[in-house]
Amino acid sequence: MPILSLQNISKSFGALKVSDDVSFDVPQGQALGIIGPNGAGKSTLFNLITGNIAPDAGSIRFDGQDVTRMPPMQRCLGGMGRSFQIPQPFGNLTVFENLVVAATYGQDRAEAAVTDLCVSVLERTELLARANQPARSLSLLQRKRLELARAMATGPKLLLLDEIAGGLTEGECQALIATIRAIHAEGVSIIWIEHVLHALTSVAERLLVLDFGRIIGMGPPDEVMQSREVREIYLGIDV
Ligand SMILES: Nc1ncnc2c1ncn2[C@@H]1O[C@H](COP(=O)(O)OP(=O)(O)OP(=O)(O)O)[C@@H](O)[C@H]1O
């Protein structure tokens, strides 16, 4: 059973079709990369998956359940964790406090369990040494790590990452990739929207290419990047 399955999902904003009959599965434990030009509908696809936007047509199954009409919080509690393109941590709270907010989102966990979970996430995202710092004092890489950590603190089976690698130096990017790979190796399924292609292809086993809300390519990264349509449309290479 796939962890996520979209069937014939369509969504328009007025006359603009941002999701056009999109269907795909994510097998358990897979890392799927999503690429496509600006405005192709990538973030909208995440909003459809998480329930922040309702589709006009189609259905979504997550972890064996039809979640098409399920509110975002229920999907999160069911194991869908998400990072945002524009991180919005609570700047005056410490890194640890930010994680406590995420770990207790709609959950009635015992205090000791919350602490254990947050410490474990801080270790896995290499933020333990920053635990008591206010979020606003973090460097860019640390802010990205915090965004990842906040998503991990909800205990996801499926982690949705929205352009988390942008703006980092090569060394910082490699450090973040190592952390994401380690999370993936724990068995967490991942869908990652990313313009930094080498970061994406070093984690993703499969790529999906969106253009004007349509899937124009899907498969192993090497194969997808060789496709004529993808090279023309996405990379702007004259072939
Ligand atoms: N709530 C909304 N109402 C109207 N139009 C919207 C809304 N959200 C997104 N759009 C439009 O839908 C299109 C797809 O936007 P989306 O953010 O999904 O693209 P994207 O592929 O994530 O782009 P980027 O790579 O720039 O983040 C864009 O033209 C955008 O302006």
ipTM of the complex: 0.93
pTM recorded for the entire structure: 0.93
Would you place residue 71 in the very low, low, confident or very high pLDDT band (cuts 50, 70, 90)? very high
Ligand 1 centroid–CA 39 distance in Å is: 5
Choose the final residue of a domain: 126, 155, 184: 155
Calculate the CA 88 to chain-centre distance: 15
Q: What is the pLDDT of residue 17?
A: 95
- The pLDDT of residue 232 is 79
Ligand 1 site, residue 18, Cβ cutoff 6 A: yes
The CA dihedral of 174, 176, 179, 184, to the nearest 10 degrees, is -90
Number of domains into which the chain is organized: 2
> Does 108 share its domain with 216?
no
Q: Is the CB of 43 under 6 A from ligand 1?
A: yes
Output the CA angle 126-128-131, nearest 5 degrees: 130
Residues 11 and 21: their CA atoms lie apart, in Å, by 8
Structural domain boundaries, residue 30: 1-79+156-239
56 and 171 together in one domain: yes
Name the least confident of 23-27, 87-91, 132-136, 183-187.
Answer: 87-91
As a whole number, mean pLDDT of residues 42-65 equals 97
Ligand 1 center from residue 207 Cα (angstroms): 20
For residue 74, how far is its CA from the centre of ligand 1 (angstroms)?
24
Dist CA 210 CA 33 (whole Å): 11
Same domain for 160 and 223?
A: yes
pLDDT for residue 109 is more than 70: yes
Give the mean pLDDT of 97-125. 91
